[in-house]
Amino acid sequence: MEQYINPRLNDIQISGIRRFFNMVNQYDDVISLTIGQPDFYTPDHIKQAAVNAIQYNRTTYTPNAGILELRQAIEQYVSEKYGLSYQAEEEIIVTVGASQAIDATLRTILTPGDEVILPGPVYPGYEPLIKLAGATPVYVDTRGQDFKLTAKQLEQSITSKTKAVILPYPSNPTGVSLTESELRGIADVLKKYKLFGLADEIYSELVYTGNHTSIAQFSDVRDHIIVINGISKSHAMTGWRIGFLLAPSWLAKHILKVHQYNVSCPTSISQYAALEALTNGKEDPSFMKEEYKERRDYVMRRLSGMGLDYVVPDGAFYIFPKFPMDGMTSFEKAVQLLEECRLALVPGDAFSTYGEGYMRLSYAYSQDTLKKGLDRLEAFLAD
């Protein structure tokens, strides 16, 4: 019967990150610096809000777009944090994590034959969703631009089939962000060619120099932009699966149709936890961010001491050093690291062909784990 499934699935594989992570589990005594999973616990007051939701029987379906109180909290939150103006009733949708928000958006705006521009190297979760919608991912090589998509590169990549560009900043896997002026240039291109911009800003609260800037702040392209965000990374709530989507009302009402028939609504219990996070827990990310910054600085010092080149990450909790490959692929080198010194880093080619020759190191781990892992890396390179 397999021959009768959707043929588009034949070109889609399990994420390279997950495939390598599953391989790591087959080895003993491994120091893994692979997964982008905060090593902090969800703050207690947020967990208590979830307990209260259960005790007070807030366990029924909610409105498809999410409970109004949470959407109002999101409206206030993005206004205070990023200067964005979205109306809770018509322009905000609460989703099952940022991933489901991305899926619902792409299925709304894409039709077979469309093209979507991606800055490579990039998180591998976008390409499969683009393909499932019948569209084609078009990668732009950002390695020579410190992993930043430029307005010039974007414009040169546009064809008659281009429908959208994905702006995943701060970036996974590189940790880089775009400045306000860089975003302004990209906004001008989106406006000129009437393209959608999907801004995946899930790491917006983990920016180490200044504050995060969203492309949605430019009012003249507001109708072109869909902002994806959530609380997984900012509040150490990956398992709660709450994201949110911001879009102009004319577009949000169509995305809501896809969302409605896909999941009905996010779990009510998690929504009440998220409400607590975005009201009484607005500053919870601050201490986590400071800790990540210390870890980042430590990792950079160690990598520099090993002679490895990297672009300084100014957000998220990843660094993407260039590696001596000795004629190997990134995957082969990662396997060698795993087998010879029991250290796991994600091979760069998991993030498109433009990640070849690099490794992603996540510093969302304790200082002790980072030290042990980097000691092993240093010994491996010295060998």
What pTM value is reported for the model? 0.95
Residue 8 has pLDDT above 90, yes or no: no
Residue 15 has pLDDT above 80, yes or no: no
Q: Which of 28-37, 176-185, 200-209 has the lowest mean pLDDT?
A: 28-37
Percentage of the chain with pLDDT > 90? 91
DSSP structure string for 235-251: TT-GGG--EEEE--HHH
Whether residue 205 contacts residue 234, with contact meaning beta carbons closer than 8 Å, is answered with: yes
pLDDT of residue 56: 98
Token pair of 99, please? 């991933």
pLDDT of residue 1: 82
Q: What is the DSSP letter of 41?
A: P
| Distance in angstroms between the alpha carbons of the first and the last residue of the chain | 51
For tokens 């892992």, the residue is 373
Token pair of 213, please? 């800037």
16 band by pLDDT with thresholds 50, 70 and 90: low
How does the average pLDDT of the chain come out, rounded? 96
pLDDT of residue 268: 98
pLDDT of residue 166: 98
The mean per-residue pLDDT over the stretch 24-45 comes to 91
Secondary element (H or E) of residue 230: strand 225-230
Nearest one of 289, 317, 322 to 303, comparing CA atoms? 322
> Which part of the chain has CATH 3.40.640.10?
58-279
Q: Does domain 2-42+284-382 have CATH number 3.30.70.260?
A: no
Percentage of the chain with pLDDT > 70? 99
For tokens 């996540």, the residue is 362
Nearest one of 88, 89, 98, 86 to 36, comparing CA atoms? 98
Whole-number Cα distances in Å, 242 to 1, 32, 236, 273: 35, 26, 11, 9
The mean per-residue pLDDT over the stretch 291-306 comes to 98
Rounded Cα distance between 354 and 145, Å, is: 12
Rounded Cα distance between 175 and 310, Å, is: 11
Whether residue 226 contacts residue 245, with contact meaning beta carbons closer than 8 Å, is answered with: yes
pLDDT of residue 5: 85
Q: What is the pLDDT of residues 80-137, one digit of tens each?
A: 999 999 999 999 999 999 999 999 999 999 999 999 999 999 999 999 999 999 999 9
Rounded Cα distance between 324 and 309, Å, is: 10
- Tell me the HSE value of 314 on the side-chain side, using a 13 A CA sphere: 13
The mean per-residue pLDDT over the stretch 137-142 comes to 98
Residue 24 has pLDDT above 90, yes or no: no
Token pair of 142, please? 């950002």
**CATH no., domain 58-279:** 3.40.640.10
> Which part of the chain has CATH 3.90.1150.10?
2-42+284-382
Nearest one of 143, 151, 80 to 117, comparing CA atoms? 151
Residue 292 has pLDDT above 90, yes or no: yes
